[in-house]
Amino acid sequence: MGDGEVLVAPALPDLFEDRGRRSALAAVLAHKAIVIGAAIVLVITLMAVCAPWLTPIDPTAIAPLERLKGPSLAHPFGTDMLGRDLFSRVLYGARISLFVGFVIAALSSIIGLVIGLVAGYWRRLDGIVMRLMDALMSIPGILLAIAFMAISGGSMGNVILAITIVEVPRVARLVRGTVLSVRRQAYVEAAVASGSRSLTILLSHILPNTIAPIIIQATYVCASAMLLESVLSFIGAGIPPSIPTWGNIMADGRSIWQLKPSMIFLPALFLSLTILAINLVGDGLRDLLDPRQAGNG
Amino acid sequence: MGTYIVKRILATIPVMALVAVVVFALLYFAPGDPAEVIAGDHASPETIAAIRQSLGLDQPLPIRFAAWAGQLLQGDLGVSVFSNIPVVTLILQRLEPTMSLMVLTTLIAVVVAVPMGVFAASRSGTWLDRALMGGAVLGFSVPVFATSYLLAWIFSMKLQWLPVQGYAPLANGVGTWFVHLILPSLALASVYIALIARITRTAVLEVLHQDYIRTAKAKGQGHRTILFVHALKNAAVPILTVIGLGVALLIGGAVVTESVFAIPGIGMLTVDAILQRDYPVIQGVVLFFSFMYVLVNLLVDIAYTFFDPRIEY
């Protein structure tokens, strides 16, 4: 928890410059991990979006006669203790998980970017802002989210808010580190010396350098947010149980898991696969953008 | 070195104070009224008002904060709304299972992950490296509760080698303690292993290119000595750092693992407190774990000095 800068990717390689744009795309497409990861995310996203066409059964429809059935043609994943179709529930659950993950990744990136830019550029604010971020990061993330949820009550908005509060300091710290290292570059000092306005320097010279690290970080935030959401739902402090999410399906399955382990393992499999795919994309992008760490295959 | 340690310890005090303020502020500004949450869905306005008064929630912010901070300074975390037992007592009662789980998990994780990372670094670019690091990404992606249920399903239900759930205190013998704790610890360790192995690999790789390693090779030192003595010692600082930071994952994971394996620890206390809407217990547990996290990282900072004498303030 030492003070100081985070290790960040060195100033951007050619990848994101105009003349390099074509080769950047080629480099991304040539990276196996990114392609595989992105393909899996795409398939699961399509599944989530097309859920109403992939299954005719309402994921919340209760059918007492069909309780705890094994897999069949009508119910490929079987049914839960209320006779609800697990295949539908898993498909519709993907919508919530992905939505929560993407929204939190976007929100945390934007808020973290603003805080990091401000702290890194206006040194007077740095002390206060970063001490606050450090304090937030000293509270273990899951507990912070649990405490927040326990008081504000279960709703999708509160889940998003709680997890965003957990993730923002990590992004802010990363952006601040990047700003600090870019500030020392000759071209920024030249811009300062020539009397450019702070806002111009910040937006046109410093901001572009933070984009690559933020994109990489956003993938990790997305993965971590989906994981946190499922944990919150699983222990009963997340999205209301009436909404089918992967975490809620597993929470339903907790009491009968020895009888019907698939209620835990099926959503867990989809969740793990999605998170793995997002992590693959993140690791791949880091390989490409940060040569220091290259060689992860 | 002595002054560094003293300064480092003193620097922890404002951090802990700030953490306490942040916890208080977050819970204060969180949407929703704890009194309403505690009272439940069908409570009358009078009940809610009574709860609000008994918790001091009707007082203005500065008075509430002063009262709470004053209690905290005396080591008082308030009283459980549900059982009327002081939160500190509740936490102390449940300390042993949680600490056992965390210590065993950390031991397993370090013993597995450090050699794993060193081997991956020494064979960097080969299939072994890719397999090990692929395993690490996998460990990072599978949620702890999924790993917990998977291990319980294989080893307790199918093979029936180990008990499915529960905890046996250390006082009843190390054997039963270990048998009850090994599955939860393994499940919890999976994420930690992934984290430590990846950093170890990166740190060792960086060191392996340095001149003194070439010197050691030229001197005819064995491959293993070079890797585990020369390289690892100099890669120790980032590895220690991530072990310290990983404690946050461990704490979060303990909440989940304890509720899957029915271990009566602080994690279970937390989950019960959520279901019982026991606001003081939740606040107390968050503070307790946050302080623990800060202290672990203080220890890590101090441990740096043994590996890298250059570190000073």
ipTM summary value = 0.85
Do A80 and A89 meet the contact criterion of CB atoms below 8 Å apart? yes
Please report residues of A whose CB lies closer than 8 A to that of B37.
150-151, 153
**pLDDT (mean) for A153-165:** 91
Q: Which residue of A lies nearest to B240 if distances are taken between CA atoms?
A: A1
pLDDT interval class at A7 (50, 70, 90): very low
Chain A residues close to B286, C-beta within 8 Å: 139, 143-144, 146-147
What digits encode the pLDDT tens for the residues A33-67?
899 999 999 999 999 898 888 887 888 877 777 77
For chain A, give the percent of residues with pLDDT over 70.
90
pLDDT at A4: 39
pLDDT classification of A268: cutoffs 50, 70, 90: very high
First to last CA, chain A: 30
The whole-number average pLDDT for the span A243-267 is: 88
- For an interface test with B, the pick among A235, A246, A263 (most B C-beta atoms closer than 10 Å) comes out as A235
Domains and CATH numbers, chain B: 2-73 (no CATH), 93-307 (1.10.3720.10)
Judge whether residue A14 has pLDDT over 60.
Answer: no
Out of A131, A231, A276, whose CB is closest to B18? A131
pLDDT of residue B57: 78
Q: Report the pLDDT value the prediction gives residue A22, as an integer from 0 to 100.
A: 59
Which pLDDT score is estimated for B312?
57
Whole-model pTM? 0.86
Mean pLDDT by groups of 10 residues along chain B of 313 residues? 82 88 83 75 82 80 86 87 90 94 95 92 88 88 90 88 84 88 94 92 86 82 80 84 89 91 93 85 92 91 78 55
Q: What is the pLDDT of residues A99-147, one digit of tens each?
A: 999 999 999 999 999 999 999 888 888 888 988 898 899 899 999 998 8
State the number of CA atoms in the 13 A half-sphere of A74 facing the CB: 10
Q: Between residues A220 and B216, which one has the greater pLDDT? A: A220
Distance CA A249, CA A268 (A): 9
Nearest to B149 among A135, A158, A257 (CB): A257
Is the Cβ of A255 closer than 8 Å to some Cβ of chain B?
Answer: no
A235: nearest CB among B245, B271, B286: B271
C-beta atoms of A264 and B279 within 8 A: no
pLDDT of residue A103: 97
Sequence-separated (6 or more) residues with CB below 8 Å from residue A96:
A156, A229, A239, A243, A244, A245, A246
Per-residue pLDDT averaged across A143-162, rounded? Answer: 89
B285 closest CB neighbour out of A1, A143, A269: A143
Q: How far apart are CA A75 and CA A94, in angstroms?
A: 18
**Set of chain A residues whose Cβ sits within 8 Å of the Cβ of B126:** none
- Asked whether B111 and B263 are in contact (CB, 8 A), the reply is no
Per residue in A227-239, pLDDT (tens digit) is 999 999 988 888 9
Write down the H helix ranges in B34-94: 34-39, 45-54, 61-73, 87-93
Q: Is A138's CB within 8 Å of B19's CB?
A: yes
The pLDDT of residue A221 is 95
For chain A positions 88-147, those within 8 Å of chain B (CB to CB) are 131-132, 134-136, 138-144, 146-147
Q: What is the CA radius of gyration of chain B?
A: 23
CB contact under 8 A, B22 and A136: yes
The answer, yes or no, to whether residue A18 has pLDDT greater than 60, is no
> CA of A31 to nearest chain B CA: how many angstroms apart?
15
Chain-wide mean pLDDT for chain A?
A: 84
- Contacts with A, B 84-113, CB within 8 Å: none
Q: Which of A231, A257, A261 shows the shortest CA–CA distance to A245?
A: A231
Nearest to B32 among A1, A139, A152 (CB): A152
pLDDT at A1: 36
pLDDT of residue A225: 95
| Cα torsion through B250, B254, B257, B262, rounded to 10 | 160
